[in-house]
Amino acid sequence: MAAAGAEAPGGEGWRAAPRTVPCPPGKLPKPGKPGRNARAGRRATRRDIAFRATDTAAPRRAPRAPPCPRPLTLLAARPARCPQSLPAPGPCEARPAPSAAVPRTRRPSPRRRPAQKPHPSRPLFGGTRVATADPCAPRAWCVPCLVSLDTLQELCRKEKLTCKSIGITKRNLNNYEVEYLCDYKVVKDMEYYLVKWKGWPDSTNTWEPLQNLKCPLLLQQFSNDKHNYLSQVKKGKAITLKENHRALKPAVAEYIVKKAKQRIALQRWQDELNRRKTHKGMIFVENTVDLEGPPSDFYYINEYKPAPGISLVNEATFGCSCTDCFFEKCCPAEAGVLLAYNKNQQIKIPPGTPIYECNSRCQCGPDCPNRIVQKGTQYSLCIFRTSNGCGWGVKTLVKIKRMSFVMEYVGEVITSEEAERRGQLYDNKGITYLFDLDYESDEFTVDAARYGNVSHFVNHSCDPNLQVFNVFIDNLDTRLPRIALFSTRTINAGEELTFDYQMKGSGDVSSDSIDHSPAKKRARTVCKCGAVTCRGYLN
């Protein structure tokens, strides 16, 4: 048996030293025929010459046992166990501390140790290795988690683990909170609902009597989803269905669960959008039309994202020294144009006139009346699912006065050549997200297909309520103006926001909308705006 503080035999790359009987002082061992044990002893002696000096100075740390695979049943990526939730190390995970009083019985072999197989909880792709305080301890991998917080909580509760970083502690490990309702039935004149518990896997769903449920909002949502589904079925089949009051049909329960999961996904997306935004106005998301969830390939940004090879110089070269930008020679006057706003923060210049706002080098403060677009959206807007087949749209939740700044159009800044290539792909898919920056030249284009803000979801209309203006603030390069959208009239709360996709910063309609030459050879996208002046196509 190995001494205390040493590893158990069998470690990879280790071999036990031969046992020898110590001789009394003054006596030599009797010579004999060298056998197998003696030859092994000589080999061990030669092998241990390199370690003799260090072993006599201080005992070496006991070697680490090879990692023991843990059976993890995770999703796409296997996140490492949380440090707070690690149980006591098992025999194959123990790394005993060395003891000076116990001699070493084994030493590492000088031969090259074979490469260890990767630990199942360590990712084989990407990530960053983080060194720990203990130089002999293994370094941990820090990788982005690919699963949601609720999924991690479900895994922790399933394995009876605690993790403070995801909100699972000993106090709430066994807490039960209703996440949504899955099904309904009546047994012996008592109503029961199948409950999905928040942070628990579906296998723990239970039937609970109505009297035990203190969640009126979830009950109302369950009832609304049931009636919406039944009304859609009746409308589609044009027949009268007798509703079973004793239990729900599987199709109805399946729709209710999908709707509940969609509602949770949209709420998470809404929270993410509001975390990423830098403007004052709040962003809301709703879908009462279908089961479409958040877009899977869209990233919210607040300003232009230059493509590789494109440089955006966001630093002004000069600024004003005004104390009152209304009455003194301010930035617009230096650029040879008029001040764009009145005292009510409404635009007063005609479409096609550029806007020059005060920049970071100006001595005026943040309350300057010539700082409007740079403050971002001030209105609460809602991304909603349209019922006319136009996909997502944007509506205002508050009243917007005419000639007021509403939002900025941002996206990825690309070259015109790249825009031509992407435009053909977008036309074949029936989508349009390209906006040419053609204030003076036509070198760059804004593509809001993957990167953008709320304006990504604003639909087209041939009779829009938003107007496009070119804006210059810190970047005074006339090839790269910022695109601002101002209201053309009073927009009431709940009304959808639209702008003309063919509208240029000059205020004119692009010739692409009326160019039917066969040289373009692009698929044309049908316009669904429904306006009296509809041109019929978006491109």
How is 252-315 classified by DSSP, letter by letter? HHHHHHHHHHHHHHHHHHHHHHHHH--SSS-EEEE--SS-----SS-EE-SS-EEPTT------
Among residues 301, 253, 258, 254, the alpha carbon closest in space to that of 276 is found at 301
Which of residues 152 and 384 earns the better pLDDT score?
384
pLDDT score of 142 more than 70 = no
Which of residues 156 and 383 earns the better pLDDT score?
383
Instruction: Please give the pLDDT value at position 487.
Output: 97
pLDDT digits (tens, 9 = 90+) for 336-382: 999 999 999 999 999 999 999 999 999 998 999 999 999 999 999 99
Instruction: Please give the pLDDT value at position 499.
Output: 95
pLDDT tier at 145, thresholds 50, 70, 90: low
pLDDT digits (tens, 9 = 90+) for 484-497: 999 999 999 999 99
pLDDT digits (tens, 9 = 90+) for 55-103: 444 444 444 544 444 443 333 333 444 444 444 444 333 334 444 433 4
Instruction: Please give the pLDDT value at position 143.
Output: 58
Active site residues: 409, 501
In the DSSP assignment, the letter for residue 196 is: E
Could you tell me the two tokens for 71? Answer: 């059976």
As a whole number of angstroms, the distance between CA 123 and CA 138 comes to 14
pLDDT tier at 33, thresholds 50, 70, 90: very low
Instruction: Please give the pLDDT value at position 453.
Output: 97
Minimum mean pLDDT among 40-54, 225-239, 519-533: which range?
Answer: 40-54
Mean pLDDT in the chain? 77
pLDDT tier at 458, thresholds 50, 70, 90: very high
As a whole number of angstroms, the distance between CA 482 and CA 472 comes to 6
Cα atoms found within 13 Å of the Cα of residue 410, Cβ hemisphere only: 20
β-pair partners for 181? 195
DSSP assignments along 373-411, one per residue: GGG---S-EEEEE-SSS--EEEEESS-B-TTBEEEEE--
Say what percent of the chain tops pLDDT 70: 67
pLDDT score of 17 more than 50 = no
pLDDT digits (tens, 9 = 90+) for 252-301: 999 999 999 999 999 999 999 999 999 999 999 999 999 999 998 999 99
Among residues 432, 113, 384, the alpha carbon closest in space to that of 269 is found at 384
As a whole number of angstroms, the distance between CA 462 and CA 536 comes to 9
